[in-house]
Amino acid sequence: MHLSSRVANIKPSPTLSVSKRATELKAQGKPIIDLSLGEPDFDTPESIKQAAILALKQGFTKYTAVEGILPLRQAIVEKFAADNHLNYTPHQILVSTGAKQCLINLMLALLNPEDEMILPAPYWVSYPDMASLAGAKTVVIRTEIEQQFKITASQLKAAITPKTRLVVLNSPSNPTGMAYSKAEMKSIGEVLLRNPDIMIVTDDIYEKIYWKSEPFSNILMACPGLSDRTVIVHGVSKTYAMTGWRIGFAAGPAPLISAMGTIQSQSTSGPCSISQKAALEALTGPQDCVEKMVQTFKERHDYVVGALNKMPGVRCLEGDGTFYAFPSVKEVLARAPQFKSDSLLAEYLLMEANVACVPGEAFGAPGYLRFSFATSMELLNQALDQMASALKRLG
Ligand code: PMP
Ligand code: GLU
């Protein structure tokens, strides 16, 4: 079979692959605890489900406008005004089939072959492969646990070349859980202000799953001067436990949003009509469900980070948000040379501790593992006990 070089250059999403493997092992009867997938374990709140049921009953089951229904785009405009003090009009908003589609629309609309996309690591697994689908090259800026996994202005400056077209920011970050402060964003923004040909995408999908005392800030809130070159990518998957409904949205300069819409019109058309009604309820209805979920994530975070740090050779930072813990296992790897990589250690934990996690290599960060704590305290407890015993057996 002769497939395109485009597809030959990418790999299946590693987070989805690990989770698939865990599901297969479970089906074979292995008692795997799956901490691989970044997906809230809560049910979608009832009022959101009811909005979808009503949409169905009212026959709201046809194609919608490619860019999404106007009331939803208006609700998104209001969300950005209320939460972020950012002003958009509905024609600056595009609703897509998940934040994932927003990102691929953006990269296809913006990147030419040979263009460079700057990506701070650890990064979410799909960004480099999406850039590759657009023919572009990813330039990675490495960060480590010692710098809280955050890039500095001088690291960014050093990575910029005449070919740089796009910079990706994701705060709070998947996989590290770290969020940039407004001052940190400002110093990065100042470098970007001096480079007027560079576009910026800020993936704010974890904005609400955040517990730091300083209010959330993205690059635009820190540097409003970047508004004509910045796209915000967001969605309802994480905030409202709606991963399967597939609704994400992008906000940015009208000509770029329109180009992204053209790509969407030739690939998937508008997102699911019923899900759009559900997303409208999510954004405009009561928000107490979000608070409750975030509080639970924080309790689990405290427990997981504490338990990981008790394991010899494992070091984990306190995160600012998300539902991921991203410990360094470098000392474990140094002590147990049979594990030549974090992937082999993850495999050992899968087979010997029955715990599925994602190796740091998948996020461009060898020497780390990602654990999702979007699962019950009971399972987390069991998983961490089994992991501690399996690591102890290594001596
Ligand atoms: N960005 C980040 C950082 C993510 O973790 C995810 C989770 N899959 C996405 C984007 C995509 O989210 P979705 O397509 O479910 O809206
Ligand atoms: N973003 C989630 C994760 O990182 C979901 C999986 C995916 O879309 O890759 O696990």
Residue range 286-319, pLDDT digits in tens: 999 999 999 999 999 999 999 999 999 999 999 9
User: Is the pLDDT assigned to residue 393 strictly greater than 80?
Assistant: yes
Largest pairwise CA distance in the chain: 63
Average pLDDT of the segment spanning 148-159: 98
Residues with CB under 6 A from ligand 1: 38, 98-100, 124, 170, 174, 203, 205, 235, 237, 243, 248
Ligand 1 pocket check: which of 17, 94, 233, 237 to mutate, most ligand atoms within 8 Å of Cβ?
Answer: 237
What's the predicted TM-score (pTM) here?
A: 0.97
CB of 103 sitting under 6 A from ligand 2: no
Ligand 2 pocket check: which of 124, 322, 358 to mutate, most ligand atoms within 8 Å of Cβ?
Answer: 124
Residue 395: pLDDT band (50, 70, 90) is confident
CB of 181 sitting under 6 A from ligand 2: no
Report the CATH architecture of 46-284.
3-Layer(aba) Sandwich (3.40)
Contact predicate 364/122, CB 8 Å: yes
Residue nearest to atom 9 of ligand 2 (CA): 15
Domain boundaries, the chain: 5-43+289-392, 46-284
CA dist., res. 319 & res. 347, Å (int): 25
Sheet holding 199-203, edge to edge: 93-96, 248-251, 230-235, 199-203, 164-170, 116-121, 137-142
User: Is the pLDDT assigned to residue 56 strictly greater than 80?
Assistant: yes
CB of 125 sitting under 6 A from ligand 2: yes
Q: Where are the alpha helices (DSSP H) in the chain?
A: 5-8, 14-27, 46-57, 70-84, 99-110, 126-133, 153-159, 182-193, 219-222, 254-267, 273-284, 288-309, 330-335, 342-352, 377-392
How far is residue 121 from each of residues 210, 255, 297, measured CA to CA in Å? Answer: 20, 29, 24
**Residue, of 54 and 14, whose pLDDT is higher:** 54
CA dist., res. 22 & res. 387, Å (int): 16
pLDDT in tens, 183-212: 999 999 999 999 999 999 999 999 999 999
CB of 16 sitting under 6 A from ligand 2: yes
pLDDT in tens, 318-369: 999 999 999 999 999 999 989 989 999 999 999 999 999 999 999 999 999 9
CB of 38 sitting under 6 A from ligand 2: yes
Ligand 1 pocket check: which of 105, 124, 275, 322 to mutate, most ligand atoms within 8 Å of Cβ?
Answer: 124
Buried b (16+ CB within 10 A) or exposed e, 320-352: bbbbbbbbbbbebbeebeebeebbebbebbbee
Q: Residue 215, class by beta-carbon neighbours within 10 Å (0-12 exposed, 13-18 middle, 19+ buried)?
A: exposed
Ligand 1 pocket check: which of 125, 130, 174 to mutate, most ligand atoms within 8 Å of Cβ?
Answer: 174
How far is residue 283 from each of residues 139, 210, 219, measured CA to CA in Å? Answer: 35, 17, 22
pLDDT in tens, 240-251: 999 999 999 999
Nearest atom (ligand 1) to Cα of 103? 10
Q: Which ligand has an atom closest to residue 16 CA? A: 2
Copy the structure tokens of residue 213: 């005392």
Q: Which CATH class is domain 5-43+289-392?
A: alpha beta
Rounded to the nearest integer, the mean pLDDT of the chain is 97
CB of 176 sitting under 6 A from ligand 2: no
CB of 382 sitting under 6 A from ligand 2: no
Q: What's the 162 CA to ligand 2 centre distance in angstroms? A: 32
Copy the structure tokens of residue 293: 């979920």
DSSP line for 206-255: TTTSB--SSPP--HHHH-GGGGGGEEEEEESTTTTT-GGG--EEEE--HH
CB of 99 sitting under 6 A from ligand 2: no
Contact predicate 316/327, CB 8 Å: yes
**Residue, of 174 and 395, whose pLDDT is higher:** 174
Q: What's the 392 CA to ligand 1 centre distance in angstroms? A: 35
Q: What's the 205 CA to ligand 1 centre distance in angstroms? A: 7
Sign of the CA dihedral with 376 first, then 215, 175, and 165 last: positive
pLDDT in tens, 361-384: 999 999 999 999 999 999 999 999
CA dist., res. 68 & res. 350, Å (int): 41
